[in-house]
Structure 1
């Protein structure tokens, strides 16, 4: 029997974040798989996507939506309904839309979180400029989108969650039991490194690092507020988003904001950092693993996905609330500890990409019809002959 065909789906490929790195990992797990998405901005997301087979929706004809995907919110549900995937099985990487793409074959949903704008609206919208208008728009769409979202979730043959907290959200939102498959970390320490202008002068003494989209719920403003009280410490913030201008205006002299860095530059930034600061309630918490790949500890909010990716006292420290005084106290406490890089590396190794690939392929096999499963397993069998359990 011919091996089953595999497709990948993702909400939109318009930014550089952890979810987009997971899609790239999926593409490496299934070389040649076509990727379906609503919007694709080659300049806004990772350059590796340029080499992949990407199918977009009609919305992609509008450049303003490629650059500002949130403007498409009222259109994304009907657009998702019209995306039809013809392959035998699709792996849908979803935070709100890809789980609703129509599939002729089987559908495995890898959920980064049920839609934040529906189930964590206050955190998603925030309290900054324009929050009232955003809240009004979401409130007007919430009832029909919630009904659509639940119907979309029920079309899946199986759900995977990227963390234990997301597993709980899936059960609460959809009454679906999901298995947890943590994603791999995206940036590895091997590879070339390129110094970043404006930060190279900080390199000898180190700096703390935030890697985040500049969204209200990410709490980057709270970290900047903490470092405003610590003029002898330095903070580099890497990320883009709607709050950029506001954060630039409030940043003190010891804080610098960067965006659109290459992977070579990201490696250089992680390697030169003293520690990572992770202040948001994340669905998974990928950046502590990226920092850990370079032997760097993390100062993180106690909650969300960080409970899965941070080993307290071994790879980092927690603070209880994302407020400047607690963040500052944790940064000072972290600076007084002697961190064991080997222990940090050992923890990160448990989230390696080969393990993710093996477990993902095994999950895909389970949603295929019985007569296709053996052909699929033969196609994607680990060359070393190991099973997913052995690679766990």
Structure 2
């Protein structure tokens, strides 16, 4: 048995609460001694559990505006990523565009959420043509350099794994590299405390609302989910934060509510009292159907991306063919709570447990180091 390797974890930026950040927490629970390296870290903007980790950031972290909105740092994120040097035997990299470019003399195990959306799926990322906004025009100007940098960075990892089938196909198309599918875990604790959300106690009566959990970005199609409920005798709760928040609040129908920055206990309450989850976005993996499934809740989801890996049609959810208000509205009208077996849905969620994720991650990382896994 060889000597235990020094393992580090790398992630693009820790400034928000999303599925990728949940994966980093699961990685850190697998390797609790590992230091986490990232370009930007906002303790108040991301999950509080990161406060218990040792985190090393790039010099960009001194700029508060970048911590509040990492998109502002786009022109300088590539050199900032190059400036981070990681002293470790193995670097477990959680990447969707930057962390695979951090420098190290160790072995790099790249867990890829997707090749950079803003480079390779630009119109989907922006929610329209790149020529229609200042952000899109800036991105177009930077694209040649960023593609050159990204392709060089993508050649460094010894091992690539993809979080879903669609991402595996994307990695092959963009980087010419084969990657095995390694699904992320859900980290839902259904036994923990549940706290109501102030002001929504009457709105969220048990089993009486639909739930969307999402970052508020154009490709998430939250605006379409909200519009679908206009005029329906149903209620929708949207949980999320992002640059579209103000516009979405201004356009909300009276039977829709938007909540942001909830605690885990409040999230448990929102999921446990829901009738179903609505997931209309283009996701590389998309964790919310599994979070809902842990509570026995079915999902109405777009037939695309990672949802094809995580939803069993007719057993744990139904698909819509387009992310439009009309398609979502029809699915909600056809939804009946009694059609779903909560036990079957929960059993499906268990196949994506954190324990399985942890064991496979440790096996693969220690195999790279030539040492036996330590469970």
TM-score range, shorter chain: over 0.9
Q: What's the offset of the Cα at 1:2?
A: 3.0
Counterpart position of 2:75: 74
Counterpart position of 2:285: 284
After TM superposition, list the pairs within 5 Å mapping 1:24-39 onto structure 2: 24-39=25-40
Native 8 Å contact 2:275 2:337 kept in 1: no
Aligned counterparts of 2:259 and 2:185: Cα–Cα separation in 1: 24
User: Would you say 1:381 and 2:370 are equivalent positions?
Assistant: no
Counterpart position of 1:2: 3
Native 8 Å contact 1:187 1:263 kept in 2: no
Q: What's the offset of the Cα at 1:135?
A: 1.1
Counterpart position of 1:177: 178
Structure 2: gaps (5+ residues): none
Deviations 1:52-104 (A, max 9, x none): 00000000001111001100000000111111011100000001000000111
Aligned counterparts of 2:63 and 2:76: Cα–Cα separation in 1: 12
SS in 2 for 1:228: coil
Aligned counterparts of 1:223 and 1:335: Cα–Cα separation in 2: 18
Structure 1: gaps (5+ residues): 383-392
Native 8 Å contact 2:131 2:137 kept in 1: no
Deviations 1:106-125 (A, max 9, x none): 00000000000001100111
SS in 1 for 2:229: helix
Q: What's the offset of the Cα at 1:129?
A: 12
Native 8 Å contact 2:290 2:349 kept in 1: yes
Aligned counterparts of 1:27 and 1:135: Cα–Cα separation in 2: 35
Deviations 1:179-222 (A, max 9, x none): 11100012221201001112210233511000000000000000
Between stretches 240-249 and 127-136, larger displacement belongs to: 127-136
User: Would you say 1:325 and 2:318 are equivalent positions?
Assistant: no
Counterpart position of 1:385: none
Aligned counterparts of 1:218 and 1:354: Cα–Cα separation in 2: 29
Which residue, 195, 207, 210 being the options, matches 1:208? 210
Native 8 Å contact 2:279 2:301 kept in 1: yes
SS in 2 for 1:359: helix
Counterpart position of 2:221: 219
Aligned counterparts of 2:106 and 2:328: Cα–Cα separation in 1: 48
Q: What's the offset of the Cα at 1:364?
A: 1.2
User: Would you say 1:349 and 2:353 are equivalent positions?
Assistant: no
After TM superposition, list the pairs within 5 Å mapping 1:118-157 onto structure 2: 118-127=119-128, 131-157=132-158
Deviations 1:205-247 (A, max 9, x none): 51100000000000000001101131x1100000000000000
Aligned counterparts of 2:68 and 2:363: Cα–Cα separation in 1: 36
After superposition, the CA RMSD in angstroms is 1.4
Q: What's the offset of the Cα at 1:282?
A: 0.3
Rate the CA distance shift 1:129–1:187 in 2: closer, same or farther, 3 A. Answer: farther
SS in 2 for 1:201: coil
Aligned counterparts of 1:91 and 1:129: Cα–Cα separation in 2: 33
Aligned counterparts of 1:339 and 1:210: Cα–Cα separation in 2: 19
Native 8 Å contact 1:188 1:290 kept in 2: no
Q: TM-score, normalised by structure 2?
A: 0.97
Native 8 Å contact 1:96 1:149 kept in 2: yes
Rate the CA distance shift 1:167–1:325 in 2: closer, same or farther, 3 A. Answer: same
